[in-house]
Amino acid sequence: MSLSEWREQGWLREHKPSRQEIAALLVVAERDLRDACTPGLSADARLTIAYNAALQCATAALAASGYRPVREAHHVRVIESLEFTIGWEAEDIRTLERFRRQRHRAWYERAYTTSEAEANEMLALAEKLRDDVLAWLRAHHPSFVPEERR
């Protein structure tokens, strides 16, 4: 499939992004990457914050591509769209999807289900995604790259 086929399926809607929108999503991601390193946070909280950073980066890539997800399965669509936006590896997408489910359990169902190793892995994955999205933006949508990241 492609993003345009996803739109035809009703999973996405067309969107006209702005430089300010992309910059704001990336600022939230940077904040969350810093916050995920705050001493004393539980592993559940660190994973959740790092996951949000990754979600903001993936949302920025999808927006730069001219789309927004519909409400239903929002996180799933944003994560899966990484295949079509930045060409992310299937293994990285599966790992991020696994952390999406882990975050959901930790946030809504059971506390203290995340290990420090998992929180660290999610943080490293979010940092990798940020770097990959910025590289992709530079190559494919340079007008959306924030000044401080050029």
Token pair 């340079």 is at which residue?
142
Q: Mean pLDDT over residues 23-38, rounded?
A: 97
For position 105, what pLDDT does the model report?
86
Q: Mean pLDDT over residues 52-56, rounded?
A: 98
Structure tokens at 126: 């979010």
Q: Mean pLDDT over residues 14-37, rounded?
A: 96
- Cα distance between residue 129 and residue 141, in whole Å: 16
Confidence of residue 150 (pLDDT cuts 50, 70, 90): low
- Cα distance between residue 60 and residue 133, in whole Å: 8
Give residues with Cβ within 8 angstroms of 130, minimum separation 6: 26, 29, 30, 33, 53, 54, 57
Class of domain 3-149: mainly alpha
The three-point CA angle 111-117-123 to 5° equals 90
Global pTM reads: 0.93
Residue 46 pLDDT > 70, yes or no?
A: yes
Any idea where the domains of the chain sit in the sequence?
3-149
